[in-house]
Amino acid sequence: MAFRTIIEPFRIHSVEPLRLTEPDQRRDAIRAAGYNLFGLSARDVMIDLLTDSGTGAMSRDQWAAIQHGDESYAGSPSFDIFRGAVQNLFPFKHIIPTHQGRAAEKILFGVIGGPGKVVPNNTHFDTTRANVEYTGAEALDLVIAEGRDPASRHPFKGNMDTSALDRLLTARGHLVPAVMLTITNNSGGGQPVSLANIRAVSEVAHRHGKPLILDACRFAENAWFIRQREPGQQDRQVADIVREIAGLADGMTMSAKKDPMGNIGGWLAVNDDDLAESCRNLLILTEGFPTYGGLAGRDLEALAQGLTEVVDHDYLRYRIRSTGYLGEALAAAGIPVMQPIGGHAVYLDARAMLPHLEPLEYPGQSLAVALYVAGGVRGCEIGSVMFGRHPDGTEAAAAMELVRLAIPRRTYTQSHIDYVIEVCQQVAASAAGLPGYRIVREPKSLRHFSAVFEPIPS
Ligand code: F0G
C-alpha cells in the first residue's frame, strides 16, 4: 500500500442535515427522556452511535434496485432475486424472509423452544435471549473466558467454549433443540469467531445430533477478521469464507439491517424440510406470505444488492479500519476500551472509567448520558441495565459494564469520528464526578428500551 490513509471507497451523493445543539438543550432533552437515550428524539442527537442496525447509508445501486421492486403478493420476482443473493452466500435450502432479525428468532424459537429446553450460544444478543426465554427455555452463554475480559487481546474473543458445549450436550443434550453461534459476537464486544472454532462447534453439535444455527448479522465483518487474523486465510475471498461458514451450519437467523446494508429486513434459513414448514406456517400467521415475509418487494431487491456490496474487500477494509481508528484513538488517549477493537462498534469499559460506581448504580448508563450531554453523541449501555434483570425477577450485575459506540455503515466521515474522540476525552477527564442512576420504572422484559432513570444525588 503506497499511502497510509485508507479512504472511504465511495463519495457522497445525497446529504442529510445534522442539527447542532448546545449542552443546555441536551440536558433538558435527556431529563425529559427519563435519562434513557432510547427516549430521545433523534433530532436532538448529533452523532448517533446508538446502533449500526438499519441506520447505514444505502448505495446508489440499492436505491436503483428499490425501483425494480415487484409488489406482487405471491410469487414476486423480487423474492427470487433476494433468495438468489442469499443462497449465493448462504446455500441453505429454505430462505424465509422476515421484517427483521428478531422476527426470525421469534418464529424459530416458537417452533424449537419451550419450557425446560436449553439453547446454547457464544453470547445471546438481547432479543435472542428474550425470544428464547419467552418460550420458557433457558438461554445459555458459552463464550470462552477471554471473551468476558475487556482487556484480553485474544484475536477471536467471540469463540465458543467447545468443551463446555460438549459437557452441556453430554449432560443435558436431550433438552437442547439447537446450538446457536453469533458472528460477530455483538454482546461480547463485536468480536469475531474463528473459522477453526466454527468448525469445532459444528463438529461437537453434529456429533450430538444437534443442528447448528448461525446468528449471522455481521457475517462479512466476521469473515474479514478471519481473512486478516487466521493462519492460512489471507488469500481467500471473503465470499468464499462466508460460504464455508454456511456449509458448517444447518440454518441461520439474520438481521438484514446490519451487513446486508438494509434499513429494514431479515430472514430465517434452514435445510430441514419439516422445520421449514413449521416456520413458514408461523410466518404466514405473523409476518406474511412466504415470498415476501415481513417485507416489501422493493426491500428484498435492496437487500439483494446490499449483499453483493458488503463482501467487497475495499468496503470491508475501510469498514474495519474506520472502527479501529476510533478505538485506537480512544485507547491512545488512555480511555479503557474493549480490546481488540470489534467490527461494528467500539465498547468503552464503563466499570474501569467510573470505578466509584457500583454495577447496580449503572456506570454504563451514567457514561452514556454524559457523552450525550457533553457532545450530543448517543451510545448504548450494554451492561447491568440491559442484562441485570432476570426472568425470575431478581437483579444482578452483568458480566461487564460497557457503552457501545456503534458505527452505522457508510454514514459518518472521519471528522465526525474525530469529534466523537474529543467528546470522549472531555467526558473521561471528568468521569470521577459522574453520578450513579437508579431505575424509577421498568417494563417486564427488555427494560433498557423504556426504563425511566433518575440520577442518585451525591
Ligand atoms: N442478533 C444480533 C447479534 C443482533 O445484533 C441483533 C440486533 C439481532 C439479532 C436482532 O435483529 O434488530 O433486526 O431484530 N442488533 C441491533 C443492535 C439492534 O443494535 O445491535 P433485529
Residue with cell 437508579: 438
Give Cα separations from 406 to 98, 171, 262, 284, 402 (angstroms). 23, 38, 16, 33, 12
Query: What are the distances in angstroms from CA 228 to CA 240, 326, 352, 368, 452?
Result: 14, 19, 29, 32, 42
Which residue bears the cell 441453505? Answer: 92
Residue 354 Cα to ligand 1 midpoint, Å, equals 27
Decide whether any atom of ligand 1 lies within 6 Å of the 124 Cβ. no
Q: What is the per-residue pLDDT for 1?
A: 63
H-assigned helices in 135-272 = 162-172, 195-207, 219-229, 238-247
DSSP letter for 375, please.
H
pLDDT tens track for 318-372: 999 999 999 999 999 999 999 999 999 999 999 999 999 999 999 999 999 999 9
- Structure confidence at residue 194 as a pLDDT band (50, 70, 90): very high
Residue 52 has pLDDT above 90, yes or no: yes
Top mutation candidate among 38, 53, 187, 254 for ligand 1, by most atoms within 8 Å of CB: 53
Task: Decide: 266 in ligand 1 pocket, CB within 6 A.
Answer: yes
pLDDT of residue 350: 97
Which letter does DSSP use for residue 437 in this model? E
Nearest protein CA to atom 10 of ligand 1, as residue = 101
Domain boundaries, the chain: 23-45+313-455, 60-309
Q: Supply the mean pLDDT for the chain.
A: 96
The identity of residue 360, as a single letter, is L
Q: Give CA–CA dist 158/192, Å, rounded.
A: 5
Q: Find out whether 237 and 89 touch, Cβ atoms under 8 Å.
A: no
- So what's the pLDDT on residue 69? 98
Global pTM value:
0.95
Residue closest by Cα to atom 12 of ligand 1:
101
Reported as a single tens digit per residue, the pLDDT across 220-250 is: 999 999 999 999 999 999 999 999 999 999 9
Mean pLDDT, residues 11-21: 95
CA pair distance 406, 347, nearest whole angstrom: 8
**Contact between residue 39 and residue 450 where contact means Cβ atoms under 8 Å apart:** yes
Range 412-435 average pLDDT: 97
| pLDDT tens digits, 57-76 | 999 999 999 999 999 999 99
- 23-45+313-455: CATH topology: Aspartate Aminotransferase, domain 1 (3.90.1150)
Query: What's the rounded Cα separation, in Å, for the pair 34 and 450?
Result: 9
Exposed / middle / buried, residue 247 (Cβ in 10 Å: 0-12, 13-18, 19+):
exposed
The verdict on the CB of residue 50 being under 6 Å from ligand 1 is: no
| Ligand 1, atom nearest to 344 Cα | 20
Domain 60-309: which topology?
Aspartate Aminotransferase; domain 2 (3.40.640)
| 121, β-bridge pairs | 141
Structure confidence at residue 379 (pLDDT): 98
For residue 258, the CA-to-ligand 1 centroid distance in Å is 8
Mean pLDDT check: name the lowest of 50-54, 123-127, 213-217: 123-127
Backbone angle region of 265, left / alpha / beta, with phi > 0 → left and psi within -120 to 50 → alpha: left
Does 125 contact ligand 1 (Cβ within 6 A)? yes
* pLDDT > 70: percent of the chain: 100
Specify whether the CB–CB gap between 429 and 341 falls below 8 A.
no
Contact 349, 438 (CB under 8 A): no
Dihedral (C-alpha) 145, 150, 156, 157: value to the nearest 10 degrees? 40
What does the pLDDT read at residue 447?
Answer: 92
Determine the atom of ligand 1 nearest the C-alpha atom of 104: 14
